[in-house]
């Protein structure tokens, strides 16, 4: 099902879809089916299944308390599952600790998934498969939370995830998607972001972390066009990016002390910039250009502060590499 769209046009489409999702979720006047579950207390369970419902489907689950479940993210049993429909909207909201939520959307057109969790030790899973247009937004507030997202064979996938607190994890996996545009954000200490994208036509990722001892890893393989921007503010942070693509660009910025940045690009028409501000930072940038390619690669490392280490390696023809330390 892998298809390609012009990047600019698709970005506008994803933005429009997200705006519609955030403002029109409660509007169900023309919906074929609408399901709502509300639970208060501890240890509750909820499940909603909507299949082959035509056009306009809404599901909303609200839980307040501790140890509640909407499916099981670990076993991937969908607490809310929607398939084979158009204009599909799903919302899961949980307030409390040790809650779990899983939602799956398959084979639909114009699907939206909104998930909010407020508390500690919560787990969420988002799965959107074989769909035309998907938009999802996940927000978690608290400590020790985890969210996993998977998009497979999707034409346009707009995904945002935000976490506020310590010891949280965001994991994103994508396979054979035409256009993906995730925005991932964490604020706190000892948080982790992991991205794995395979076989994408166009993939544009924005990753932001503020705080100390955070980690961000991003891998894109067998893709056509990739563009990654990683920003970390704080100390003792680690960022690593690896991409193999026909056209790969990236920008990695770290602001603080004792940070480590690693970037590895393979393919042709490569460009990457690592910028570090602070002291005792380490940067490693590697580019391996395609043999015989007429397109040169560009690599740059800029470090400001004291006692930095920078390593730059390029293979291929017509390359340009710069290291600036001041």
Task: Parse the chain into domains and list their residue ranges.
Answer: 7-325
% residues pLDDT > 70 (the chain): 86
> Cα(144)–Cα(255) distance, rounded to whole angstroms?
25
- Encoding tokens for residue 215? 């980690």
Strands (E), 119-191: 123-129, 133-141, 146-152, 156-164, 169-175, 179-180, 183-187
Pairing label, strands 48-64, 238-255? unpaired
Is the per-residue pLDDT at 8 higher than 70?
Answer: no
> What is the overall mean pLDDT for the chain?
87
210 pLDDT tier (thresholds 50, 70, 90) = very high
Give yes or no for a contact between 105 and 127, defined as CB atoms under 8 angstroms apart: yes
Residue 25 main-chain phi, psi, to 5 deg: -60, -40
Who has greater pLDDT, 1 or 305? 305
Q: Using pLDDT thresholds of 50, 70 and 90, give the confidence band for residue 173.
A: very high
Sequence-distant (≥ 6) Cβ neighbours of residue 31 within 8 angstroms: 56, 57, 58, 87
Contact 138, 124 (CB under 8 A): yes
Q: Which of 47-51, 209-213, 322-326 has the highest mean pLDDT?
A: 209-213
pLDDT at 219: 94
Spatial separation of the C-alpha atoms in residues 113 and 128, rounded to whole Å:
9
pLDDT, position 73: 61
Token pair belonging to 109: 């057109």
Cα 37 from Cα 71, distance rounded (Å): 13
Cα–Cα distance measured from residue 10 to residue 280, given in angstroms and rounded to the nearest whole number: 41
Max distance between CA atoms of the chain, in angstroms, equals 65
> How is residue 184 written in tokens?
């991932």
Q: Which two structure tokens, joined as six digits, stand for 306?
A: 């004291």
**Which of 56-70, 248-262, 280-294 is predicted least confidently?**
280-294
β-strand pairing of 69-72 with 77-78: antiparallel
| pLDDT at 9 exceeding the cut of 60 | no
Look up residue 290 and give its DSSP letter. P
Question: Dihedral angle at the C-alpha atoms of 184, 85, 58, 160, nearest 10 degrees?
Answer: 0
Q: How far is CA 200 from the centre of its chain?
A: 14
More confident: 196 or 246: 196
Give CA–CA dist 249/269, Å, rounded. Answer: 8
Which of 35-44, 225-234, 291-300 shows the lowest per-residue confidence on average (mean pLDDT)?
291-300
> Is the Cβ–Cβ distance between 70 and 101 less than 8 Å?
yes
Chain-centre distance of CA 116, in angstroms? 16
- Is 85's pLDDT higher than 90? no
Cα 157 to Cα 177: distance, rounded to the nearest angstrom: 8
Q: How far apart are CA 33 and CA 48, in angstroms?
A: 12
């Amino acid at each position: 099902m892998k298809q390609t769209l012009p990047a600019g046009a698709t970005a506008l489409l994803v933005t429009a879809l997200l705006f519609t999702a955030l403002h029109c979720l409660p509007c169900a006047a023309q919906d074929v089916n609408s399901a709502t579950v509300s639970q208060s207390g501890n240890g509750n369970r909820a499940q909603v299944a909507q299949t082959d419902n035509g056009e306009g489907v809404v599901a909303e689950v609200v839980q307040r308390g501790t140890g509640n479940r909407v499916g099981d993210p670990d076993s991937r049993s969908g607490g809310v599952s929607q398939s084979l429909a158009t204009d599909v909207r799903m919302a899961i909201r949980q307030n409390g600790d040790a809650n779990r939520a899983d939602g799956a959307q398959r084979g639909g057109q114009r699907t939206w998934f909104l998930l909010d969790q407020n508390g500690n030790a919560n787990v969420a899973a988002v799965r959107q498969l074989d769909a035309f247009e998907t938009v999802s937004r996940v927000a978690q507030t608290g400590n020790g939370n985890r969210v996993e997202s998977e998009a497979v064979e999707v034409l346009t996938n707009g995904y945002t995830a935000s976490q506020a607190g310590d010891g949280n994890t965001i994991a994103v996996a994508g396979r054979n998607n035409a256009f993906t545009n995730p925005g991932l954000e964490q604020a706190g200490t000892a948080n982790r972001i992991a991205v794995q994208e395979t076989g994408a036509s166009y993939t544009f990722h924005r990753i932001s972390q503020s705080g100390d001892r955070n980690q961000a890893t991003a891998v894109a393989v067998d893709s056509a066009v990739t563009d990654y921007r990683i920003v970390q503010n704080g100390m003792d942070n680690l960022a690593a990016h690896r991409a193999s693509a026909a056209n790969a660009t990236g920008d990695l910025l770290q602001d603080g002390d004792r940070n480590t940045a690693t970037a590895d690009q393979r393919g042709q028409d490569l460009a990457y910039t690592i910028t570090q501000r602070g002291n005792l930072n380490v940067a490693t940038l590697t580019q391996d250009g395609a043999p015989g390619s007429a397109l040169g690669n560009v690599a740059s490392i800029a470090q400001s502060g004291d006692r930095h280490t920078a390593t730059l390696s390029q293979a291929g023809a017509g390359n340009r590499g710069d290291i600036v330390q001041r």
